[in-house]
Amino acid sequence: MLQLSSLLATFVLGLFLLAPPLAHTNEDLFLTRGFQFIQNTGIPGAPWTSMTALGYVNQENPVYLDFSFDTHEYTFVLEVEGLSAIDTVFTFVVWTYSGGTLDVYCDPILGGTLADYGSDPPNVTSPSTFGDGEVVLGGDIDYVQIITNTSTGHTSSSGRLTLSRGSRLSNIPDTRRPQTTFDWWLDRSSPRPVGYPAEFDGGVYFDFVSLPVESRTWGSIKIHPFQ
């Protein structure tokens, strides 16, 4: 059974923590652009039971990845499942999911199977044509939070995963693999294929914890400002 709790209470308690907060710095691993589709219980207004996002990797960090965009197509498939909590604070609703996978695939442009969104997914080409070829990098999701501002309808998602597979996994230092985080924003106003509720853009990066700092601002809380 889902437990509906107040995220605001968590924020308030956090203000009284005695230990100084930690500062975070990020290093991009790769950036993506794609679309998402959802599955639910069929009950109007019910939360998503699962979400799939897929699309193209359009930029990589050459320190860790050596992509050849001229000759190969790089795609990603994000599968989110395991709805574990629904929290509400002010005008924000936060859905927390506890499982899923994220994988990046490489397929040659000549001789490979080009990715095709099709319409009304899942269908004969989606997600299958995004999830074929060589697995370049992938991992299992620790958690995902999907955050909606009910006053504007704007939505973003963020989460953490542990990298554990792929032909380029050896390029990633062992200490970085559990520090992998991701952020995407969902745009329902942009043109998109039939049957995809939103464009799904963002990226995957390493989150480094640095020395304690003396003060905390609202910007340090993992809810993105919506514009």
Query: What's the pLDDT at 45?
Result: 52
Taking residue 105's Cβ as centre, other Cβ atoms within 10 Å add up to 25
- Structural domain contains residue 113: yes
Instruction: Please report whether residue 48 resides in a domain.
Output: yes
Q: What is the pLDDT of residue 204?
A: 95
Residue 16 lies in a domain: no
For residue 3 the two structure tokens come to: 């437990």
The answer to whether position 222 is within a domain reads no
Cα(32)–Cα(184) distance, integer angstroms: 9
Model confidence over 17-55: pLDDT tens digits?
334 444 446 899 999 999 999 876 555 555 667 889 999
Beta-carbon count within 10 A of 175 CB: 9
Nearest CA to 52 out of 154, 157, 191, 152 is that of 157
Q: What integer best gives the mean pLDDT of the chain?
A: 81
What is the per-residue pLDDT for 47? Answer: 62
**Number of domains forming the structure of the chain:** 1
Q: Which amino acid is at 123?
A: N
Which residue range is the domain that position 125 belongs to? Answer: 3-7+24-213
Q: Are 136 and 168 in contact, with CB atoms under 8 Å apart? A: yes
Residue 141, domain member (yes or no): yes
> Are 158 and 185 a contacting pair, CB within 8 Å?
no
In a domain, 220, yes or no: no
Q: What is the pLDDT of residue 46?
A: 55
Give domain status of residue 14, yes or no: no
Query: For residue 151, which phi and psi values (nearest 5 degrees)?
Result: -80, -25
The answer as to whether 104 is a domain residue is yes
Could you say which residues of the chain have pLDDT below 70?
1-25, 40-48, 208-227
